[in-house]
Amino acid sequence: MAEEGLRTIGIAYRDLSDASEWSADADDPDWEPPEHELVLLSIVGIKDPIRKEVPGAVKTCQEAGIFVRVVTGDNIKTAKKIAADCGIYTEGGLALTGPEFRKMSDQEIDRILPSLQVLARSIPTDKQRLVERLKANNQVVAATGDGTNDGPALKAAHVGLAMGLSGTDVCKQASDIVIMDDNFRSIVLAVMWGRCVYDNIKKFLQFQLTVNVAAVSVALLAALFDKGAPLAAIQLLWVNLIMDTFAALALGTEKPTPDLLKRKPYGLDEKIPISPTMWRNIIGQSIYQIVVLLVIIFKGADILGLPNMGTEHYTLVFNTFVWMQLFNEINSRKVNNGMYSVCFVFFLTYLLFRT
C-alpha cells in the first residue's frame, strides 16, 4: 500500500473488564496502557490525491532553477511514491529517513544535499536542520508548512510560506507569506511576481539613466559650442515631473509573464546591477538621441528654414527630445535580449525625417 502512495492506518480493539483499566494507577506496578494487547482487525490505505496542477507547477519550478524537496513524516515508500508522482523524486535522486538523517554529520549532509529529494519519517528538527544546512551552503531557501511544528523551519528559512486554510496561527506568524488557497501553484505565482518586481526596477533604471545621459550631454555640448540652452529649465522640469513620473508608474507596474520563469534565479549577494544588455541599450539609445538632437540644434534651422536658435527652433528640439523618450520607454520594457530597441530606433528615425 505504501508503494502505491497510500497512507496506512491499523484498526484494532481490546476488551476491557471494567472502566478502571482506562485510568492509570501509579501504585499498581502491573498496570498497562489500554493500547497494549490489541487485536488487529484490518489495515486501511488512505489515498490523498495529488492536485492535478501540482506536477506542472513542480516542473515549472525546476525549469526556473528551483530545487523542490519533500520533507514529511510519512513512510519512506509512501513519500517516494507521492514525490515521484509530483515529479520531485527522479531517477538518481536520494531519499532518506529522519533517523538516517539525524545520524549524519554536517559535512555528510552537505555532500548529499545536491541529490537529496525526499526526507521521510522526519521530525520538526530535521526540517529545521535541513534549512540551516542549505543556508550554510549559500542557497536561497523557501520552506512551506501548515503545522505548529513547522514554525522553527519557516522562521529559519529566507522565505517561510504558510498554508492559509489548513495552517495554524503559530505557523502563519512564523512565516513571511501566507498562501491563501493552500495551492502549490500559488508559490510559482509568488516567484513570478518577485522576479517581475526585480525586472521592473531595472527597466526604470534603464529608462531614467538614458534620459539623464542624453539631456546632460546635449546641454553640455550646446553650451560648449555657444548654442545657448536648447532645453530650458522649465522644459526639463516638465520632463521630470510629467514624463518620468508616468514612466515610473508604467514600467513599475508591468505585469509578469511566464517567460520570467525560464531563467535561473539570482543569488543571495545579487544586487540590482546594470547588465551588459542594459549598458548596450543605455549607451546605444543615448548616443542615438544625442546625435539626433545635435543635428537638429546645429543644422535643423537651416534644413527647415527656421530662425537659428529661435523659439520655433528650440521648440522642435524639445518636442523631438520628448518623442524620443516616449519611444525609449517602450525600449526600456526590455532589460534582457529583445528586439524592441532595434525596431523602434529605426521607426523613430523614419518618423523624424519624414516630418
Q: What is the DSSP string of 124-190?
A: HHHHHHHHHHHHHTT---EEEE-SGGGHHHHHHSSEEEEETTT--HHHHHH-SEEETT--HHHHHHH
What pLDDT was estimated at residue 114? 93
Q: Give the tens place of pLDDT for each residue, 284-317.
A: 889 989 998 998 888 887 877 778 777 888 888 8
| pTM of the complete model | 0.75
What pLDDT was estimated at residue 137? 92
> What is the mean pLDDT of each successive set of 10 residues along the chain, which is 355 residues long?
89 79 62 78 91 91 92 91 93 93 94 94 93 93 91 93 91 92 89 89 88 89 84 85 79 86 80 80 89 88 78 86 85 68 51 53
CATH class of the domain whose range is 54-187: alpha beta
Q: Which three cell numbers stand for residue 149?
A: 511544528
What pLDDT was estimated at residue 20? 61
CATH class of the domain whose range is 196-354: mainly alpha
Domain ranges within the chain, ordered by starting residue: 54-187, 196-354
